[in-house]
Amino acid sequence: MCGILGVILSASSKLPRETVKPVINRLFKLSESRGKEASGLAVLSANAINVYKTALRASMMVRTKEYRQLLDESVKRSSAGLNAPIAVIGHSRLVTNGRQQVNINNQPVIKDGIVGVHNGIIVNCEKLWGQYRQLNRISDVDSEIIFSLIGEFYKKNPSLIESVQRTFSFIQGAASIAALFSDLHCVLLATNTGSLYLCESKNKDIYLFASELYILRSLIRKHNFPVATGKVRISHIKPGSGCLINLDDLSCEEFLLRDGERAGIAASGIQMPMEIRDVSPVETQENADVGIETPNRIQRAHSGCNFNDDTLSSIDSLRRCTKCILPETMPFIRFDESGVCNYCRDYKGITLRDKNTLDAIVEKYRSKSDSPDCIVGLSGGRDSTYGLHYIKTVLKMNPVAYTYDWGMVTDLARRNISRICGKLGIEHILISADIAAKRRYIRKNVTAWLNKPDLGVIPLFMAGDKQYFYYANKIKRQAGAKLIFLCENMLERTDFKTGFCGIAPENIDEDHVYTLLLNSKVKLFGYYVKQYLLNRSYLNSSVLDTLWAYFCYYLMPRDYINLFRYINWDEKEIVLTLTEKYDWESAKDTNSTWRIGDGTASFYNYIYYTIAGLTENDTFRSNQIREGIITREDALELVKKENQPRYDSIRWYCDTISVDFHKTIRAIDSIRKLYKS
């Protein structure tokens, strides 16, 4: 989920010393796209490993006095004739567990003579802490367990490679790591997903590494490496492999994570212990005086709210279509004399394209080597996760998974992403937005909406994720892939969202679920302009981001294959596959497996349900009825459960965007309903 990076130079490296710091700075700035919430580095030179980390994005950290001083002193010391190599490992963090304001949660991790950085999520870290109770946990971050286990196993068997192999056999999830050691003169690199690339000079006196191929290529172009160091070669550290770079001669020993028989680096690599110094800013007591927040110790956030029984009774009494379950509050709904709605009468069934057609398409692009041949959008939800499984295991493609994290991707979704990428050995590229800014935009628009509620404007809360399409195209170019796969469930049409804007349902391009015809796009834009003029609170700092989102979603060309246009969407098969093969995690506050990775869904569905008496579940289940997948009786029973307010998730949403939970719920509950209550 984060970006890891590094530079390793021999004492005789031909790279000019004055170039070292710009190279490291550039690596940090390029890696910042993978996480903007914290950053840090460790520098090994002479007889010490100095660590500096802070709750600042990388582009800000590289301008701090402490960072500049650390690099200046390290480079100067190594160029003063001490015949010492330089090794730098760095981290650009996307926060999952462990608040970044508590600096011990930031990386590099310092543990038992090991200084390490980690990209990914270890989903069974709590179980491992319980299993290895002798290990002293000092932070909330899951990455700590990796380096604790390596150190523990190395104490019992002084083979670093075997210790790393054993560690990776225990951890579950995604892990790409780099580490320095106080008593071993080497740099460790290892990955179970393949999200790690290594660049070496022709003379093997310089190594660079990063989480993405594009980062290294951009760096080389920027600093003209072929001229400075001779030809360079970039290699992919493949899933399930690693290497040890000996700092004495910069020789590189490769190994497999599943091979437990190799001795690897042992006594021959030992040197006099190096001092590890943490030169990070001293934390205030307010930030530092916290306990370890583990899932076993965190109590669920009980809301103290109960959905109004009168409201439930009123919603239950709504007139509904006699064929599907859409209520009378659905925009543009009309019932005939038999009580059947126009959505059922006008419905055109889904006609799947032949699987052979899909096979013929992908055959033209299927990689004959290990290079990526497609990009797969991965939100962490059930459909995209299953789609990645299918593309990798059935179509036999070599995909790169892609996620756009705009601040409302839940930790549950991130863990499920790590599960499948770690299990299948799939490289995962995450583009991190400026999450603090995105959440600030949401707060401003939610606050503006509560002052003057209008159901048509609710999608504004989700505008921040629409740049997803822009970055998908960008990553496709950067990775050199030819195809983009998205996994859009054809049953997920939610016409009520634009219906509340006065846009009637229409027959759209069958290949794409989420789009509108041109005249409706113009009408929608005009509707929002009107709402902005009626409620000037929307004219805030989010406007430019919203306009860009509108362009990405409605105007930018979309060139992708929707997997579910070619294969049948089977809810039971999907859930069963994910739970049995990947130990897929469900939400604790709902029985549904849909939208549980989307931190916004519980909030906006609460609004729709409270005011209009319907949610996405009603339209989704109605489409299933029309396709003959479930009965109307089953659908009514399902939505009765699925539409129950998810107060824990709503509280998380309110806390995340910094609005008061109770005031927000009371404000929503007091809004005039579209039905008699």
- Using DSSP bridges, classify how beta strands 483-486 and 374-377 pair: parallel, antiparallel or unpaired: parallel
Mean pLDDT of 333-355: 94
Looking at this protein, which amino acid is placed at residue 21?
K
Q: Which residue spans within 497-596 are E strands per DSSP?
A: 561-562
Report pLDDT for 259: 67
Question: In CATH, what number does 3-275 get?
Answer: 3.60.20.10
316: Cβ contacts below 8 Å, ≥ 6 apart: none
Q: Which residue spans within 445-552 are E strands per DSSP?
A: 483-486
Token look-up 């609005």 returns 659
Q: Which residue has the higher pLDDT, 206 or 309?
A: 206
Q: Are 362 and 443 in contact (CB under 8 A)?
A: no
Over the stretch 422-440, which tens digit does the pLDDT of each residue have? Answer: 999 999 999 999 999 999 9
What SS3 string covers 321-335?
A: CCCCCCECCCCCCCE
Residue 531 has pLDDT above 80, yes or no: yes
Confidence tier at 312 by pLDDT (50, 70, 90)? confident
Report pLDDT for 13: 80
d(CA 472, CA 485): 10
Residue 677 has pLDDT above 80, yes or no: no
Mean pLDDT of 556-560: 88
Q: Are 446 and 131 in contact (CB under 8 A)?
A: no
Tokens of 408: 């409302």
Residue 386: other Cβ atoms inside 10 A: 25
Mean pLDDT of 486-505: 93
Looking at this protein, which amino acid is placed at residue 106?
N
Residue 445: other Cβ atoms inside 10 A: 25
Domain ranges of the chain: 3-275, 309-669
pTM value surpassing 0.75: yes
User: What are the helix (H) ranges across 123-277?
Assistant: 125-131, 144-156, 160-170, 213-223, 225-229
Rg (CA), the chain: 27
User: What are the helix (H) ranges across 537-646?
Assistant: 543-550, 571-582, 601-612, 616-626, 632-642
Mean pLDDT of 665-675: 95
d(CA 444, CA 441): 5
In degrees and rounded to multiples of 5, residue 21 shows phi and psi of: -65, -45
Q: Which residue spans within 498-595 are E strands per DSSP?
A: 561-562
Residue 527: other Cβ atoms inside 10 A: 18
d(CA 159, CA 169): 15
Token look-up 């979309």 returns 558
In degrees and rounded to multiples of 5, residue 425 shows phi and psi of: 65, 50
In degrees and rounded to multiples of 5, residue 352 shows phi and psi of: -75, 145
Of the candidates 363, 336, 283, the one whose C-alpha atom is nearest the C-alpha of residue 102 is: 283
d(CA 61, CA 25): 9
d(CA 394, CA 94): 32
- Using DSSP bridges, classify how beta strands 399-405 and 3-9 pair: parallel, antiparallel or unpaired: unpaired
Q: Are 568 and 390 in contact (CB under 8 A)?
A: no
Over the stretch 43-86, which tens digit does the pLDDT of each residue have? Answer: 998 778 999 999 999 999 999 999 999 998 887 765 544 467 89
d(CA 240, CA 196): 11
Report pLDDT for 514: 66
Tokens of 668: 């929503």
Over the stretch 562-588, which tens digit does the pLDDT of each residue have? Answer: 999 999 999 999 999 999 999 999 998
Helices (H) and strands (E) in the chain, counts: 25, 19
Angle of helix 616-626 relative to helix 601-612, nearest 10 degrees, comes to 80
Residue 254 has pLDDT above 70, yes or no: yes
- The CA-based angle 371-220-434, given to 5 degrees, is 80
Report pLDDT for 647: 94
d(CA 581, CA 419): 10
Looking at this protein, which amino acid is placed at residue 159?
S
Confidence tier at 290 by pLDDT (50, 70, 90)? very low
406: Cβ contacts below 8 Å, ≥ 6 apart: 433, 435, 438, 464, 465, 467, 468
Over the stretch 93-109, which tens digit does the pLDDT of each residue have? Answer: 998 877 888 889 999 99
Report pLDDT for 268: 37
Of how many residues is the chain composed? 677
Q: Which residue has the higher pLDDT, 16 or 221?
A: 221
Report pLDDT for 409: 94
Mean pLDDT of 370-379: 93
Q: Are 177 and 4 in contact (CB under 8 A)?
A: yes
Residue 549 has pLDDT above 80, yes or no: yes
Maximum distance among all Cα pairs of the chain, rounded to whole angstroms = 93
The percentage of the chain sitting over the pLDDT mark of 90, rounded to a whole number, equals 75
Angle of helix 468-479 relative to helix 213-223, nearest 10 degrees, comes to 70
d(CA 619, CA 641): 15
Tokens of 362: 């992908």
Residue 143 has pLDDT above 90, yes or no: yes
d(CA 5, CA 27): 7
The rounded mean pLDDT for the chain is: 89
418: Cβ contacts below 8 Å, ≥ 6 apart: 1, 120, 121, 122, 123, 173, 174
- Using DSSP bridges, classify how beta strands 86-93 and 38-45 pair: parallel, antiparallel or unpaired: antiparallel
Looking at this protein, which amino acid is placed at residue 483?
L
d(CA 30, CA 449): 36
Classify burial at 267, counting beta carbons within 10 Å of its beta carbon; exposed 0-12, middle 13-18, buried 19 or more.
exposed
